Amino acid sequence: MEEKGVEDDVVKRLDCERDPNQKNRQRFGGVGGVLSIEQFFEDQEVPSWRKQLTFRAFFVSFWLSILFSVIVMKLNLTTGIIPSLNVSAGLLGFFFVKSWTKFLERSGFLRQPFTRQENTVIQTCVVASSGIAFSGGFGSYLFGMSERIAHKSSGSKDFKDPSLGWMIGFLFVVSFLGLFSVVPLRKIMVIDFKLTYPSGTATAHLINSFHTPRGAALAKKQVKMLGRFFSVSFLWGFFQWFFMTADGCGFAHFPTFGLKAYANKFYFDFSTTYIGVGMICPHIINVSVLVGGIISWGIMWPLIEEKKGQWYSEKLSSDDLSGLEGYKVFIAIAIILGDGLYNFFKVLTRTLSGLLHQLRHKRDTEELSSENSSRSELSYDDERRKQLFLKDQIPIWLAIGGYVVIAVVSINTLPHIFTQLKWYYILVIYIFAPVLAFCNAYGCGLTDWSLASTYGKLAIFTIGAWAGPLHGGVVAGLSACGVLMNIVSTASDLMQDFKTGFLTLASPRSMFVSQVVGTTMGCIISPCVFWLFYKAFDDLGLPTGEYTAPNAVLFRNMAVLGVEGVSSLPKNCMTLCYVFFATSILINLIKDLIPKKWARFIPLPMAMAIPFYIGPYFTIDMSLGSLILFVWQKLNKTKADAFGPAVASGLICGDGIWTLPSSILALAGVKAPICMKFLSSSNNAKVDKFLSSSI
């Protein structure tokens, strides 16, 4: 009964922090004699910004960064669907440092207690580091430049193969600009405009709850649950490895729904990673990818395949873009561009209208807020947070000077890494980048949606078309995508961190330093992790391999489309692209116009597009994860909400970490002892005979 009381109390406390209802706050949050969040921590001294940056925080951050970089890299190179791992990072950071300090306390060597500010520093550092695994383009634009991916598209002569040296150098000269571009705007965004930054706010509530006695008790049980499912997932990956001597071996190739369904990639591949992803992602995301898989591989591709010889030549190989592969790639691109364009203008419109409203009514708002603050019973938290947030200023000269210096270094360095990317292309990007970074950071504060990849796609088309086919437009467009995507992505991430720091009383200086340190770690860790994958798996990026890198193919073909046009596409491909582009916009429009109670049942076009190219096999795993969580919530919503993210994180982390030893074994030439094939007469005659007789 006591354990249930702990869970219920923490869940209610977190709910009331997000609840504007005054009555709930009176019971749990700071009026009527009940302590508010900051009153609860009033007796705890807030350490200076230097003391928030501890050796143990960065030591733990380093190892967690490796863990999450491996996980993000694996997700990047398989489907490109990357769920939020903030809960996992915060939970594991709390667990490891809390264990560290408990040991030192018992030994009598503890000099500085573990605070929520230090927890925030760890969270910021880990998320910044692992974020480079995504914004670095290892599963999209960067790998899309390679010869291996180039051979799968028409622009095969314009490529640049990965190399550890230039990848690290590239990331170092482009990943810090976004940090300096929005630093002067932190007060405007967080205090004046009061932007919510939902992910940053949720992370702050999570960290605050960890450092209450009952919250710590729940966190301890969550970590135990995570560790339990981490072990199960890791051991399951190890067990599967024994049966995977060659391609097509193992449980991942079991024809769950029959041979015909397997041929169209409808099967359960026993991936604990994507069961966990399905538990973290909203139900509508899981439904969307499943619907997209059914529409494409269940209906469209079989129908188009029947047109072989009429719409495209029968002699073409299965991966030729002039054949069926062209429909798969470019229809997926059309849906992604339609969805991205709609949401770009939607967020931009909301950003500009919100900004104009804020500026127009700023004086009235300030007067009203000053009156309210004098009368409000809840002003203690806001006043304390505002006071400490404005205490440690980051000089404007440092932000502007840092941006200019890094921009100059970058303009002079990048043309040596990518000869196709001229210095004046980069200059134009850097002139517009601060405005785009602000728009992305502001829009993220309103909607919690970063459009970094959309801005990157705009750079692909504009710079690629500017360079043209004769001057390496494909590589120029992809590298320009990387430059802009890194700037706007790190800008929105930093502003999220400022919001988290504001709500946990972490200094803006410690947040900035932590983001810089995390980005530095990411610029080294992420290329090394990718290099391990690249060297260990010879079929990386190939349709027959475990890591197909679908976004690399899509990004490259976007660049080819922008540079060379659509003349080589198969018959009726562009017509279908126009139809799906318009449909993607129409679905989004309907979703925004109808009431929310109905809109939540409409699938998301961006999610639907993912299985169009890579197949629906992973959607079965995600749907299973979503179903498990749905049933759990129906049976016991309190426990499902408290422990669901921990279970999902354990499944993802365990399978993700198994990738490291499996990669090392592959590099060493160690093969699994058994090949368990379900579709091979030569290796399993009895199974083949049974299957053929049952058809």
For residue 64, the one-letter residue type is L
pLDDT at position 14 is 41
Give the pLDDT of residue 376: 45
CB 506 within 8 A of CB 121: yes
Distance separating alpha carbons of residues 418 and 170, to the nearest angstrom? 9
Looking at the predicted structure, is the pLDDT value of residue 20 above 80? no
Asked if pLDDT for residue 22 goes beyond 50, the answer is no
Q: Which of 211, 95, 72, 58 is nearest to 518 (CA)?
A: 58
Using a 10 angstrom Cβ sphere, with 0-12 exposed, 13-18 middle and 19 or more buried, the burial of residue 251 is middle
Rounded to 5°, the CA angle 239-242-247 comes to 120
Query: Is a pLDDT exceeding 70 seen at residue 1?
Result: no
Contacts of 18 (CB under 8 A, 6+ apart): 201, 202, 205
Give me the pLDDT at residue 35, please: 56
pLDDT in tens, 569-621: 788 888 999 999 999 999 999 998 998 889 889 998 988 988 998 889 889 99
**What angle separates helix 508-536 from helix 164-174, to the nearest 10 degrees?**
160
Q: What is the pLDDT of residues 394-408, one digit of tens each?
A: 888 999 999 999 999
Least confident of 199-208, 308-317, 422-431, 680-689: 680-689
HSE-CB of 635 using CA atoms within 13 angstroms: 9
Residue (of 589, 24, 646) closest to 280 by Cα position: 646
Question: What are the structural domain ranges in the chain?
Answer: 47-99+112-354+395-690
- Report the candidate in 61, 184, 218 with the shortest Cα–Cα distance to residue 131: 61
Summarised one tens digit per residue, pLDDT across range 76-95 is 998 887 877 777 887 888 88
Is residue 122's pLDDT more than 90? yes
pLDDT(125) > 70:
yes
Query: Residue 557 pLDDT > 70, yes or no?
Result: yes
> Which of these, 505, 523, 649, lies nearest to 142 by C-alpha position?
523
pLDDT tens digits for range 344-383: 888 778 777 777 776 676 555 555 454 544 444 446 788 8
- Cα–Cα nearest to 535, from 161, 156, 130: 161
Contacting residues for 559 by C-beta, under 8 A, at least 6 apart: 144, 155, 460, 464, 473, 474, 475, 477, 478, 481
pLDDT tens digits, 169-221: 999 999 999 999 888 888 888 888 788 888 888 888 888 888 887 777 888 88
Concatenating the DSSP letter of every residue in 234-292 gives HHHHHHHHTTBSSTT-SGGG--TT-HHHHHTT-S----HHHHHHHHHS-HHHHHHHHHH
Name the nearest CA neighbour of 608 among 359, 367, 292, 389: 292
- 618, 194 Cβ separation under 8 angstroms: no
Average pLDDT, the chain: 83
Task: Compute the distance between CA of residue 17 and CA of residue 24 in angstroms, rounded to an integer.
Answer: 9
Mean of pLDDT values over 294-307: 92
pLDDT > 70 in the chain, percent: 88
Q: What is the pLDDT, as a whole number, of residue 362?
A: 59
Mean pLDDT calculated for residue range 443-464: 84
Instruction: Give the pLDDT score at 165.
Output: 94
Residue 281 tokens, joined: 């992602």
Average pLDDT over residues 534-550: 86
CA distances from 448 to 343, 453, 496, 611 (A): 12, 14, 9, 24
